[in-house]
Amino acid sequence: GINAECILNHSSNLLHHRALLLSAMSADGFTDSSPAPAHTTGTIARVNTSGRFNCKRDIERFREAYLQEMQKDAPSPQAQFELAWCLTCSSNRGDLREGIELLQELIEAGYNRLDCIYYIALAHFRLGEYAKSRRRIEMLLRMQPNHRQGLSLQSIIVDKITTEGSLGIAIFASLAVGMFFVVRQVLKSTPYD
């Protein structure tokens, strides 16, 4: 995991944030750590008494706080946001989808749109839904063109789409060449009358 100090200071500059995102992602695109949004760092620091982010443990803690908050007459959207943020840090696809739903509800309620859009884009990226992720990041950057985290994630998305696109073209070209040789061999071995 990433220590609490790193989470608190993650966005000092664009290159540093991009390096954190890239180093935190495993080969399959999932990670159990993610930079915390600036306005939740106090809660995260209180929750993570060990100084380390533990996704599964912290999801349960944020879920408990969220459920307690929902018992109130006027629940705070902050508890929902913190649970949603934590869910977007999970490697579990169901958690990622739940995080997206909670964040979408917050956007519809007008709560912290920029952070909600960013974490929806991040969750889509982790799900391998690069086109959806790119659309959300483009929406975020239209609202705030200099959003550092958004610019970092946009760069990573473009790299991923470019890499996968190039790989797809290479696979298609290999298949086409292979089919050419198979057809050619069949035509050579077929007697003509």
Q: What is the pLDDT of residue 16?
A: 40
**Which residues, 6+ apart, have CB-to-CB distance to 58 below 8 Å?**
44, 47, 48, 86, 89
Burial of 161 (0-12, 13-18, 19+ CB in 10 A): middle
Query: DSSP letter at 192?
Result: P
- pTM of the entire structure? 0.62
| Residue listed under structure tokens 């307690």 | 68
Give the mean pLDDT per block of 10 residues along the chain (193 residues): 33 39 43 47 41 76 92 89 92 94 95 94 93 94 92 88 68 68 70 63
Q: What is the pLDDT of residue 77?
A: 93
Q: What is the pLDDT of residue 64?
A: 92
CA torsion through residues 43, 46, 47, 49, sign = positive
Q: What is the pLDDT of residue 145?
A: 94
